[in-house]
């Protein structure tokens, strides 16, 4: 009977544990908000083992950063687990992108400023109470209040409009077309304002 031979695993090499305390002539400085550890000590010049020297310095700085976090930061526990509360960052970091330019005022903003019209406080939320349904419904969009009358099974016929136009009057279709025309008109005004703002900017 033959059994397949399994390869012998390599021997386990245990590296000696490094100390959790680091002694340096000059003390480290920290910005825990940015998880930064500054080492003011000069790097020893050792061209033969430069990579090992840099790795040891990085390890010491990381060890001191962890020590500082565990000894000075608040530790909280929650349902998600245990986490550490970091302080406010103290090192200003450069922006990735330039500061955006100020937007040019719109046509309405220029008009309101000229006439002294104060900006009205915008109503919060997109819901309005529908007394007929007895519930809160969206002001616009899917099942919005602005579509009232478009799906009613019975609507009043405007005899004057039928007489003037000489054809049957469909209040539902007219309501839908008026709403869509308002949307298109607002989109055109918005595009015009954007073009004007880019020209003045």
| Whether residue 61 is found in the same domain as residue 111 | no
Q: What is the mean pLDDT of the chain?
A: 80
Distance from chain centroid for Cα 27: 38
Instruction: Report residue 1's pLDDT band, with 50, 70 and 90 as the boundaries.
Output: very low
In a domain, 129, yes or no: yes
Neighbours of 118 (CB within 10 A): 6
Buried (b) or exposed (e) across 28-44, using 16+ Cβ within 10 A? bebbbeeeebebeeeee
The tens digit of pLDDT for each residue in 130-173 reads: 887 788 888 877 777 767 766 666 667 677 776 776 666 666 66
In a domain, 90, yes or no: no
In a domain, 51, yes or no: yes
In a domain, 8, yes or no: no
pTM reported for the whole predicted model: 0.42
- For the chain, give the number of residues: 201
In a domain, 40, yes or no: yes
- Residue range of the domain that includes 35: 29-85
With residue 186 as reference, give the H or E element that holds it. helix 171-200
Number of domain units in the chain: 2
Q: What separation in angstroms does the CA of 23 have from each of 39, 60, 63, 87?
A: 12, 9, 11, 25
Give the three-state DSSP class for 136.
strand
| Whether residue 183 is found in the same domain as residue 112 | yes
In a domain, 111, yes or no: yes
| Whether residue 69 is found in the same domain as residue 145 | no
């Amino acid at each position: 009977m033959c059994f397949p031979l399994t390869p012998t695993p390599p021997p386990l090499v245990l590296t000696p544990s490094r100390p959790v305390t680091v002694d340096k002539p000059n003390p480290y400085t920290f910005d825990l908000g940015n998880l930064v550890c500054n080492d003011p000590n000069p790097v020893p010049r050792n061209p033969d083992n430069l990579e090992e020297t840099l790795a040891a310095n990085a390890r010491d700085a990381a060890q001191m950063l962890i020590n500082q976090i565990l000894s000075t930061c608040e530790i909280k526990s929650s349902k998600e687990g245990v986490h550490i509360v970091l302080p406010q960052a103290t090192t200003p970091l450069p922006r990735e992108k330039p500061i955006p330019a100020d937007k040019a005022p719109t046509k309405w903003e220029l008009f309101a400023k000229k006439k002294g019209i104060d900006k009205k406080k915008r109503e919060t939320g997109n819901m309005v109470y529908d007394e007929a349904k007895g519930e809160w419904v969206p002001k616009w969009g899917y099942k919005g209040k602005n579509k009232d009358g478009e799906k009613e099974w019975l609507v009043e016929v405007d005899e004057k409009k039928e007489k003037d136009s000489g054809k049957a009057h469909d209040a539902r279709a007219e309501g839908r077309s008026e709403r869509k025309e308002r949307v298109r008109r607002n989109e055109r005004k918005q595009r015009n304002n954007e073009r004007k703002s880019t020209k003045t900017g």
